[in-house]
Structure 1
Amino acid sequence: MAEHVLPEPAVEITGVRELARDLVVVPNRNVQLVPNIGLIGGTHSVLVVETGMGPANAEKVLEFATDYAAGRKLYLTTTHFHPEHAFGAQVFSDAATFLINRAQATDLATKGGGYLEMFRGLGPSIARHLEGVELATPDIVYDHSYDLDLGGRVVRMRATGRAHSKGDQVVTIPDAEVMFTGDLVEAGQFAIFPWFPPHDTDVSGTGWIRVMERLAAEQPKIVVPGHGDIGGARLLTDVGDYLRLLRDETWLRRDSSMSQDTIVDEVRALMIERHPDWAGQDWIEQGVGCLCAEHPHRNGDSEQ
């Protein structure tokens, strides 16, 4: 993460946006470390997507969800295990059924503690929100896909395979043509590559590209990114295009035996020139590092 003061990562239940019948999003207001949070309703149940970072944020989300559900059963899911998305799940333990894919459950169990400590070191405001965090155990774990019947509406949850993390999950609502992507997609921001060798190298740029190609082919009407403004299918195309360009420009320079520092400098300048208004420029370096590690080399097999 960049060495600068981060804003308070507080979820605010304001500006709630209705995307379709009985389907709303609490927007992140473009505040760092605050995710877009979804509530999807059917006749007998409501699914909450994301918790916000820590118990205090999750309590706000649960209060809103309880009022919104108006007596309907609550479910909770998270798009991946990172703290601002999942580290409030404990608050829902007596109120909702928590379900995620198996790879994400493994991430949460094996890497959650390390991420808790890492994020606590990002600054006092983040540490405050992470006070009292206990990593939750999901009630339902699925392998590849799970169709949740909310009553008159089915929500489809799918593990995408390794990309932004090993346990990424996409949530789609077919009848509304809405897709929640988590951090596979950010709006107005460079892709977040949690590439921190030797501590965490699970992100895969090449895998991410393949995932984005599959998602873009579905052409949802509305895409809810992990962070940033809600948009259409163009968000999926934009991220896929950026990742392919990042790969191609990194590998072109890697082929010439250029030093990684020089690759970072040149590719960073090119990406900022292409997207001068995007936030998160510091993530370009992590993306280059990841893709250098995934370079097929002379005798390897390309994963394009």
Structure 2
Amino acid sequence: MPTAIPDPIVDLGDARDIARDLLVVPNRNVDLVPNIGLIGGTDAVLVVETGLGPDNAERVLAFATEYARGRRLYLTTTHFHPEHAFGAQSFAGRATYVVNRAQAADLAGKGRGYLEMFRGLGETVARRLDGVELVAPDVVYDDTYDLDLGGRVVRLRPTGRGHSLGDQVVTVPDAGVLFTGDLVETGQFAIFPWFPPHDTDVSGLRWIEVMRRLSAGHPDVVVPGHGDLDGPRLLDEVREYLELLRDETWRRRDSAMSEDTIVAEVRALAIERHPEWTGRDWIERGVRCLCAEHA
């Protein structure tokens, strides 16, 4: 992962409406800043993602409280990784925190290790993580959770293993909006948190199947974990890249090529195909993950 990271501050001044009573705070393409959502109904407002650490989360909470104007607050996170969920403590007692069971298990089992790993990314990141406490969700569900905000139902749905074991997507059916977390990024190579032996839960193969299912839902607006909002073509673009990574990796693996050589050749091919994309370091982790997977 990159070590020279600008201060990952959530800039609430960029918040913009994308549908009725639905705001997105864009990440401005700053590393370790997620896209954050506020989804309102007549009775309640759901916040999607916290930002990295309690300082960011306190400002997101203050913004959401002002936006809600007395409506009840809920919080959800698309997965347990630090910039998405490691500010949940700021919402304790102020919002009801709802996540899927696999994500809750990820947080409990791997959260402390990820906190230490991210602290090693540099002083600015470590400072944002000062005082982080990993808090348990208030509500944990298994299959699908329909959250009634009053005149608007938001659907929370686990996808199964992909970017992580506990990935969750958030759908706003009446607005045609889909929040994907890090299953999808715009203009960036897919993030593979392949960190053997500590974390090898990412699955390129299952990720492809997740993307097919999400495309079948035909959303009008896709809010990725990081990067610009886009339409449904973004889902196909990510799936096609993952399929390219799988096919080119497996073709070389089956010819008994060394893993280092596979990495070098597939990395060059991926960059040639997408020279404008950022996050090139993730290509290697994706290739090594797929070298270990089998159909």
* Structure 2 partner of 1:223: 222
Cα distance per residue 1:175-207 (max 9 Å; x no partner): 000000000000000000000101110100001
- The whole-number CA distance in structure 1 between the counterparts of 2:157 and 2:144 is 4
Cα distance per residue 1:230-266 (max 9 Å; x no partner): 0000110000000001000000000000000000000
- The whole-number CA distance in structure 2 between the counterparts of 1:216 and 1:249 is 23
* Structure 2 partner of 1:88: 87
- The SS at the match of 1:67 is helix
- The whole-number CA distance in structure 2 between the counterparts of 1:77 and 1:90 is 12
- The SS at the match of 1:236 is helix
* Structure 1 partner of 2:61: 62
1:265 is matched by which residue type in structure 2?
A
* Structure 1 partner of 2:264: 265
Aligned-residue offset at 1:219:
1.1
- The whole-number CA distance in structure 2 between the counterparts of 1:138 and 1:245 is 37
User: Pairwise mapping of residues 56-135 of structure 1 onto structure 2 (< 5 A)?
Assistant: 56-135=55-134
* TM-score normalised by length of structure 1: 0.96
* Structure 2 partner of 1:299: none
- The whole-number CA distance in structure 2 between the counterparts of 1:206 and 1:15 is 36
2:205 is matched by which residue type in structure 1?
T
2:173 is matched by which residue type in structure 1?
P
Cα distance per residue 1:135-171 (max 9 Å; x no partner): 0110000011100000000000000000000000000
Q: What are structure 2's unaligned runs of at least 5 residues?
A: none
1:82 is matched by which residue type in structure 2?
H
1:46 is matched by which residue type in structure 2?
V
- The SS at the match of 2:105 is helix
- The SS at the match of 1:195 is coil
* Structure 1 partner of 2:26: 27
User: Pairwise mapping of residues 1-304 of structure 1 onto structure 2 (< 5 A)?
Assistant: 1-2=1-2, 4-294=3-293, 296=294, 302=295
- The SS at the match of 1:128 is helix
- The whole-number CA distance in structure 1 between the counterparts of 2:105 and 2:282 is 25
- The whole-number CA distance in structure 2 between the counterparts of 1:287 and 1:14 is 35
1:139 is matched by which residue type in structure 2?
D
- The SS at the match of 1:14 is helix
- The whole-number CA distance in structure 2 between the counterparts of 1:86 and 1:5 is 22
Q: What are structure 1's unaligned runs of at least 5 residues?
A: 297-301
2:160 is matched by which residue type in structure 1?
G
- The SS at the match of 1:246 is helix
- The whole-number CA distance in structure 2 between the counterparts of 1:121 and 1:232 is 35
- The SS at the match of 2:12 is coil
Aligned-residue offset at 1:25:
0.2
Point out 4+ residue stretches in structure 1 off by more than 4 angstroms: none
2:170 is matched by which residue type in structure 1?
V
- The whole-number CA distance in structure 1 between the counterparts of 2:13 and 2:255 is 51
Cα distance per residue 1:70-127 (max 9 Å; x no partner): 0000000000000000000000001100000000000000100000000001100000
Aligned-residue offset at 1:16:
1.1
- The whole-number CA distance in structure 1 between the counterparts of 2:218 and 2:254 is 35
Aligned-residue offset at 1:14:
1.7
Identity of aligned residues (%): 73
- The whole-number CA distance in structure 2 between the counterparts of 1:125 and 1:10 is 10
Would you say how many aligned residue pairs link Structure 1 and Structure 2? 295
* TM-score normalised by length of structure 2: 0.99
1:130 is matched by which residue type in structure 2?
L
Aligned-residue offset at 1:45:
0.3
- The whole-number CA distance in structure 2 between the counterparts of 1:100 and 1:16 is 24
1:189 is matched by which residue type in structure 2?
Q
